[in-house]
Amino acid sequence: MPGMDAETAELIQSVRSDPQRKAVLSHLADGPKTVKNGYETAANADAETVLAALTDDGIVERDGERYVLTDFGERVHEYATREWNPSNEGTKRAATFETLADCEWHCSACELPSSQPAKDIQMLRKEGFEFVQNTGQGQGDYRHCENCEDTTFHRKLKYPFPTQKSITRQDMPASFKRRVRDRYDHRDAFDGSSPSTTLEVDHRVPEVRWEESESFDYESMSGEEIEEHFQLLSRKHNLLKSRKCEACVESGKHPPFMQIEYYYEGGEEYEEDVGCVGCGWYNPQEWRAALQAELDG
């Protein structure tokens, strides 16, 4: 049920954490049952009490002496019993999810196994998983870690199952890429060079910061809209920017551009209402122009 409301998510979570209700639902998943069909054995509980609560929640309905899962109940059963780890078993990403699946706060520095937790969080968010946001620092919060005895960035998964629509990236038409390259005269946004290799069309707002799927109309996009959303970068510079943006998500601080701590809008601290604007990694041309204007002034 991606896109589910908080009430439904909390109901599923409560069922998921209750072995008795999970057992009753699994027993019903095979088909309608009466109370005498072995619920006590399946649930190790007072079956009628559990069934009454599930009926009140709209998960089960009663037909005479028989109980059956509603359509809503079938979906609740799936979300309450399925293992939702989206990564291949044995990978660091899979281990990251397993650590976060208890929905407690975890230190990115010493508890999460991946060396790039921001990428793992991005992947999970793209799959529809929600993270608790306590501050404007993005998908997490700074907290004291009793294990490494430092104040570090912590992550907390809101639910161990997807509740949001997945964040998808559109296929960019080759004709649009040519338009962007022509728009910028085939020059790298970082240094103005025209390398012999093909420059990549880069999203100014990095994917790690996306809150929803792309919905660009590439065919009708104006030149001004192209400049608002895209730039050209060499492969090397594109990878460098990705690492810097991941570090920004992790720390909540815009990294200096070319080792210069200057921001043409906002400041070092990442603020949700300003976003990436003002950072040289977001728009090198505007960053240089603003800095030059200050120097000339």
Judgement on whether residues 44 and 100 belong to the same structural domain of the protein: no
pLDDT (0 to 100) of residue 142: 83
Contact 222, 260 (CB under 8 A): no
Contact 77, 18 (CB under 8 A): no
Q: Is 161 helix (H, G, I), strand (E, B) or coil?
A: coil
- The CATH number of the domain holding residue 53 is 1.10.10.10
Contact 202, 233 (CB under 8 A): yes
- Would you say residue 168 lies in a domain? no
- Would you say residue 288 lies in a domain? yes
Judgement on whether residues 28 and 125 belong to the same structural domain of the protein: no
- Would you say residue 28 lies in a domain? yes
Residues 6+ apart with CB under 8 A from 244: 255, 281
Q: Higher-confidence residue: 247 or 199?
A: 199
State how far the alpha carbon of 77 is from the alpha carbons of 45, 55, 59, 97, 124, in Å.
18, 14, 9, 21, 22
User: 263 burial class (0-12, 13-18, 19+ CB within 10 angstroms)?
Assistant: buried
pLDDT, mean over the chain: 89
Judgement on whether residues 121 and 205 belong to the same structural domain of the protein: no
- Would you say residue 161 lies in a domain? no
Q: Per-residue pLDDT averaged across 208-220, rounded? A: 89
Judgement on whether residues 202 and 123 belong to the same structural domain of the protein: no
- Would you say residue 195 lies in a domain? yes
Phi, then psi, of 69 in degrees rounded to 5: -70, 135
Judgement on whether residues 224 and 278 belong to the same structural domain of the protein: yes
Which of 61-65, 94-98, 128-132, 234-238 is predicted least confidently? 61-65
Q: Per-residue pLDDT averaged across 209-224, rounded? A: 91
pLDDT (0 to 100) of residue 39: 52
Judgement on whether residues 17 and 71 belong to the same structural domain of the protein: yes
**Number of helices followed by number of strands (H, E) in the chain:** 11, 8
Q: What is the CA radius of gyration of the chain?
A: 25
Instruction: Tell which of 81, 101, 134 closes a domain.
Output: 81
E strands, 126-216, in order: 141-145, 150-155, 200-203
Judgement on whether residues 114 and 51 belong to the same structural domain of the protein: no
Q: Per-residue pLDDT averaged across 167-172, rounded? A: 88
**pLDDT at 41 exceeding the cut of 60:** no
Judgement on whether residues 184 and 261 belong to the same structural domain of the protein: yes
- Would you say residue 70 lies in a domain? yes
CA distance 181 to 12: 48
pLDDT band at 136 (very low <50, low <70, confident <90, very high): very low
Q: Per-residue pLDDT averaged across 168-191, rounded? A: 95
**pLDDT at 18 exceeding the cut of 70:** yes
Report how many domains make up the chain. Answer: 3
- Would you say residue 86 lies in a domain? no
pLDDT band at 16 (very low <50, low <70, confident <90, very high): very high
Judgement on whether residues 186 and 291 belong to the same structural domain of the protein: yes
CA distance 49 to 87: 38
Phi, then psi, of 49 in degrees rounded to 5: -65, -45
Contact 246, 208 (CB under 8 A): yes
Query: What letter would DSSP give residue 191?
Result: T
Judgement on whether residues 18 and 117 belong to the same structural domain of the protein: no
- For 88-120, what is each residue's pLDDT tens digit? 998 988 999 999 999 999 998 899 987 778 788
How many residues appear in the chain? Answer: 297
Q: How many of the other CB atoms lie within 10 Å of CB of 273?
A: 7
Residue 120's domain comprises 92-155
CA distance 27 to 42: 7
pLDDT (0 to 100) of residue 9: 94
Beta pairing, strands 230-233 & 200-203: antiparallel
Place of tokens 């990428």: 119
- Would you say residue 162 lies in a domain? no
What pTM was computed for the model?
0.67
Instruction: Tell which of 81, 109, 143 closes a domain.
Output: 81
Residues 6+ apart with CB under 8 A from 138: 209, 249, 252, 270
Instruction: Tell which of 155, 182, 209 closes a domain.
Output: 155
Judgement on whether residues 179 and 259 belong to the same structural domain of the protein: yes
Judgement on whether residues 75 and 111 belong to the same structural domain of the protein: no
